[in-house]
């Protein structure tokens, strides 16, 4: 076998006249009749090989085709002056082939390995070919660097990397678990972790003080472009710290990563209250790359005269001002009115032409003079239940910003603090923990609002970048009494708590240090740093939106014998 002496990025002018051997895939062939040019590709780069007629190598080269794996021995030489390629890193040189060996042939590939096009199902089925594409290799190399830099940073801050089990106990609250049947104890099941939450808290109780892990997490819920059933977190936990300490550590880590892998200084990470974020941006993950904040008009005297928009009792009136643009037509604006209606909201809009407002609520607004709107701007005013208005306008804000193209190409990183501890679950008719039930509530809220759990704040915090939730964390409860109290508030009875978390509650009785932690979604962080919208572009072997792997064809049936061993009988389905 012709074994390489150099990898492709290593070929440059310094090797001119030297004999080298390279290995790689045939990327492209240009057969000019007399001579043949072949681009060879490996992980590191692309180099042009020249085959000249009347040589043994030339005769073999005539039979080459795309994606063949070959070895070439040849002499590195400078390209003729007018034949250099400035677009190619190795464009000043080429390899004059003397020997060539075909190491593996290839059928015509069903995906383009040298172009970013093709339907995703075919690409996922032949993922190993899709992964040959330059852009996805770049993404995975970027991801590698980011994880290495993370380890470097956390190690230098005395964090210990400790692994925790993937086969664990099913936990009730939160996302649905993937479950794994036990063969040895038939009829019982493991669950795959939604996160290493309990383990990392136990590590704190054990005294490890600063822990981290690049952990895989599993959640059996419906998928989205930004959600995979298994995903990776940089999971960390610290003892004898408060919220500020964790945020400083994580904020500096993120800052370090942006600098180290993207060369960008994001500055210090500012904080915003959850309530503020909802009030101004209608979202707990506001995108701060553009303005268009919501303005609350409820108390303005003209609000009650807003015709069909005027608020009823307990309703709010809110406005966003859209910058001057030629993109939003009357028809486009009317669709927002329509979709507001389906959310039980009322929405009107009007464009300010310098003197008057023109639009569905133009007449009323033309009598108002303190709206602070500039010529050419459009206002959207929405009325309805507070939460609905916030959510709807928040979503509309982002949609419009995308449409009219006002989103700056930058990174806006921030903390969202003081999330509500509990949220009402309409389906189960009970309150549940919004973050998770191990989160430390504000103790004064707990005393003052025992009648209304929705008013209790938690020491929990999210990291948000460009409108994406990058991770979340909290100060944890570290006493048995408080943990039991929180369980009780979310309707977990004493016996239930004992059965599910007894070992954990017991651990609190043997000296549990105050602790807090965080987890960063690696897939999302890499995506946002690279500016790609789908997690699939930063994961080597991702799943589809229905949770299957098109290459392996999973999930799939297992044999009768396997089921029998597990003591499992399938019901007839479909």
Question: Toward RNA, which CB reaches closer, 97 or 292?
Answer: 97
Closer CB to RNA, residue 303 or residue 460?
460
Cβ-based nearer residue to RNA, 36 or 379 = 36
Question: Rounded to the nearest whole angstrom, what is the least distance from the CB of residue 503 to RNA in the complex?
Answer: 17
The CA–CA distances, whole Å, from 46 to 10, 60, 108, 183 equal: 10, 20, 20, 51
Q: What are phi and psi of 218, to 5 degrees?
A: -130, 130
| Count of CB atoms situated within 10 Å of the CB of 291 | 11
CB of 497 to RNA, least distance (A): 14
**Shortest separation between residue 536's beta carbon and RNA, angstroms:** 7
Question: Which residue's CB is nearer to RNA, number 30 or number 403?
Answer: 30
Encoded tokens for 450: 């025992």
Least Å distance between CB 264 and RNA?
25
Q: Closer CB to RNA, residue 122 or residue 443?
A: 122
DSSP 14: G
Look-up of token digits 């040849």: 74
- Nearest approach, Cβ of 299 to RNA (angstroms)? 28
Query: d(Cα 552, Cα 573) in Å, to the nearest integer?
Result: 23
194 touches 175 (CB < 8 A): yes
Nearer to RNA, 35 or 481 (CB): 35
Give the C-alpha separation, 234 to 214, whole Å. 5
How many CB atoms are closer than 10 A to CB 413? Answer: 20
Contact 235, 467 (CB under 8 A): no
Judged by beta carbon, residue 210 or residue 435, the one nearer RNA is 435
Q: Is residue 46 within a helix (H) or strand (E), and if so which, with residue range?
A: strand 46-51
Give the torsion sign (CA, 320, 325, 327, 328).
positive
* Beta sheet of 378-385, edge-to-edge order: 295-296, 315-322, 378-385, 346-352, 357-358
| Minimum gap (Å) between residue 219 Cβ and RNA | 4
The CB-of-129 to RNA minimum distance in angstroms stands at 10
């Amino acid at each position: 076998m012709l074994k390489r002496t150099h990898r492709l990025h290593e070929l440059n002018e310094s090797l001119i006249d030297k004999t080298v051997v390279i290995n790689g895939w045939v990327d492209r062939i240009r057969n000019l009749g007399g001579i043949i040019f072949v681009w060879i590709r490996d992980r590191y780069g692309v180099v042009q090989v020249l085959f000249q007629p009347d040589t043994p190598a030339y005769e073999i080269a005539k039979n080459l085709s795309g994606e063949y794996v070959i070895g070439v021995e040849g002499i590195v030489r400078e390209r003729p002056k007018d034949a250099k390629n400035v677009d190619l890193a190795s464009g000043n040189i080429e390899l004059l082939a003397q020997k060539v060996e075909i190491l593996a042939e290839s059928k015509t590939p069903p995906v383009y390995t040298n172009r970013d096009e093709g339907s995703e199902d075919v690409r996922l089925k032949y993922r190993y070919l899709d992964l040959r594409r330059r852009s996805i290799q770049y993404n995975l190399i970027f991801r590698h660097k980011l994880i290495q830099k993370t380890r470097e940073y956390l190690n230098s801050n005395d964090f210990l990397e400790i692994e925790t089990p993937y086969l664990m106990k099913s936990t009730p609250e939160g996302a649905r678990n993937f479950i794994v049947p036990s063969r040895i104890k038939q009829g019982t099941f493991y669950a795959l972790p939604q996160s290493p939450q309990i383990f990392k808290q136990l590590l704190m109780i054990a005294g490890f003080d600063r822990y981290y892990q690049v952990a895989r997490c599993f959640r059996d819920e419906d998928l989205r472009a930004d959600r995979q059933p298994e995903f990776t977190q940089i999971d960390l936990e610290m003892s004898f710290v408060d919220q500020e300490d964790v945020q400083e550590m994580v904020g500096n880590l993120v800052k370090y990563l942006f600098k180290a892998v993207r060369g960008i200084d994001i500055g210090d990470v500012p904080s915003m209250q959850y309530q503020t974020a909802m009030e101004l941006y209608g979202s707990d993950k506001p995108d701060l790359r553009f303005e268009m904040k919501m303005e609350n008009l409820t108390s303005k005297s003209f609000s009650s005269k807003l015709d069909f928009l005027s608020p009823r009792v307990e309703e709010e009136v809110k406005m966003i001002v859209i910058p001057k643009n030629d993109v939003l037509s009357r028809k486009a604006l009317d669709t927002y009115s329509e979709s507001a209606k389906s959310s039980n909201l009322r929405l009107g809009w009007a464009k300010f032409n310098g003197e008057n407002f023109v639009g569905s609520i133009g007449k009323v607004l033309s009598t108002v003079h303190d709206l602070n709107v500039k010529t050419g701007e459009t206002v959207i005013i929405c009325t309805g239940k507070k939460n609905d208005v916030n959510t709807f306008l928040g979503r509309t804000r982002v949609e419009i910003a995308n449409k009219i193209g006002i989103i700056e190409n930058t990174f806006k990183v921030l903390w969202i603090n003081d999330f509500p501890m509990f949220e009402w679950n309409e389906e189960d008719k009970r309150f549940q923990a919004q973050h998770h039930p191990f989160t430390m509530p504000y103790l004064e809220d707990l005393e003052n609002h025992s009648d209304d759990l929705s008013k209790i704040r938690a020491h929990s915090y999210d990291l948000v970048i460009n409108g994406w939730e990058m991770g979340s964390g909290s100060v944890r409860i570290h006493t048995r009494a408080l943990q039991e109290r929180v369980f009780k508030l979310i309707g977990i009875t004493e016996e239930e708590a004992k059965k599910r978390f007894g070992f954990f509650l017991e651990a609190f009785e043997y000296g549990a240090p105050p602790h807090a932690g965080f987890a960063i979604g690696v897939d999302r962080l890499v995506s946002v740093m690279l500016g790609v919208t789908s997690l699939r572009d930063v994961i080597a072997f991702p799943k589809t939106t229905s949770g299957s792997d098109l290459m392996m064809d999973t999930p799939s049936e297992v044999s009768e014998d396997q089921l029998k061993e597990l003591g499992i009988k399938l019901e007839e389905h479909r």
